[in-house]
Amino acid sequence: MTRLKQLLVAGILVISPGVTAVSAKADVMVQATEANRAMYRQQQERQIRPEHYDLNLRPVNNANESFWRNLLWTTAIVEPQAPYVAEAIEQLMSLATRSNLTTAQQRTIDMAMQVGTQLYLGHPTVYSRLEPTLVQTIEHSPDPMWVAMAFSALVQRGLDPASQQQWATAIQQRFPNWTHNVYLYATLREVAEYSQTPPPLSDLLEWTIAPHQPHLYVLCRPDRGVLCQAILKDRHGRFLTDNGQLWSVPLSLRSIHDLSWVFSRGQTPQGIYRIQGAIPQPDTEFFRAFGQFSLVNLFVPFEAGVQEFVVGRSGSWVGLSDYQALLPPAWRNYFPIQQIYWAGKAGRALFRIHGTGEATTFFSNNQRYPTSQNWNPTIGCLSALELYDESGRLLAADMPKILEALRTAGEQNFTGYLIVVDVPGDEPIQTELETLNLANLTPQPSQSPVRPSP
């Protein structure tokens, strides 16, 4: 288990016997009112004060870990432009070059690097001062994950190809065993193969990972500010329709931190996930994070708790060749579709499809994505539409539609596969669906034999 376990609690929801359906519904309406949502936002904004960002008053030590992690999350929500915030983030990130840090200090710096990346990429004018700190991290940090994160941020910001190669070479020289570190290996390979052309999408859509299993495809653009679209193939290999039209649901797979997929709290990785039923939302304790509806339960390679990631083999572990065998031949050596394998190896877990009870105005960076501003960002999960009016009444929600479709395509306690893939282009992905003749696709069975568990 890595120290960067996601701060999600979906997998450990428990039923609260004292909450009835009537009282839960009433509580949802109270939490979702415009007045309460405005209050939640104001509570965050009030935390943005100079004394809170003073490292002399609050040094980074074990005792102050909770304070800094809470303040950094508030910073991610509000994205303040004050110079004193930028100075504090710079000071926090500069600690990444130190050795002999305690575990608590490491966790604080982990989050500072995540939020610092978000601010550096989202507000370059104010947070350009973080760039020298990112360079110093690459040159001097003993932690390969922080080095990879800093390099990834510089590349995302537009580092020219010659400088990319220069830094990649320097990193490999600093860490001779870089191929054995998942963060360095994944980041350096992603940068090196950025322009790799994907195989035909039709091959992926025709392919059957395992027979009699629903396949939920989530087609995205490389810019995750553009909404993705989910389409569903039932257990007989037929794409679902709704009133004669292809069934589809928009989803947001954008991380609030704009981190690369290999890092905890980063973008939702491309690749194959195992679907294993739904997790009930039994009360309203987590309403603001996940909305009022059940969550679709997803598992990734290496994640504990899955009954069988590969059908016919119990357990979670799959080797790279086993994972590649789940893909059509043309896709097996396409590195981006392996993202979820490497992310799972890095310890990422607890992915879900869920709604949200939070106002879409709660997160400041939604303003940068006008075409998807009704979908809140996540820290890796897949976000479905869930909107409420000023009085807290539900206006629209896509989770019931998704859950019903999965039960129709599979069964009540559905299992299956989810496949996330980026499709080149900038326009809405809906235009891509209109060009696909899915009704005439011929399902192709997996050609890889299923081996029994050792």
Helix 182-192 to helix 161-174 angle (10° resolution) is 160
Work out the average pLDDT over 129-141: 98
The mean pLDDT value of the chain amounts to 90
pTM of the entire predicted model: 0.90
Residue 422 to residue 271: CA distance in whole angstroms: 10
- Range with lowest mean pLDDT among 58-62, 308-312, 384-388: 308-312
What pLDDT, on the 0 to 100 scale, is given for residue 23? 59
Structure confidence at residue 5 (pLDDT)? 41
What is the distance between the alpha carbons of residues 375 and 359, in angstroms, rounded to a whole number? 9
pLDDT at 454 over 70: no
> What is d(CA 224, CA 420) in angstroms, rounded to the nearest whole number?
12
Provide the percentage of residues in the chain whose pLDDT is more than 70. Answer: 89
Confidence bin at 314 (pLDDT 50/70/90): confident
| Domain boundaries defined on the chain | 47-192, 201-445
The predicted-structure confidence for 184-231, as pLDDT tens digits, reads as follows 999 999 999 888 899 999 999 999 999 999 999 999 999 999 999 999
pLDDT single digits (tens) 77-121: 999 999 999 999 999 999 999 999 999 999 999 999 999 999 999
pLDDT tier for residue 318 given thresholds of 50, 70 and 90: confident
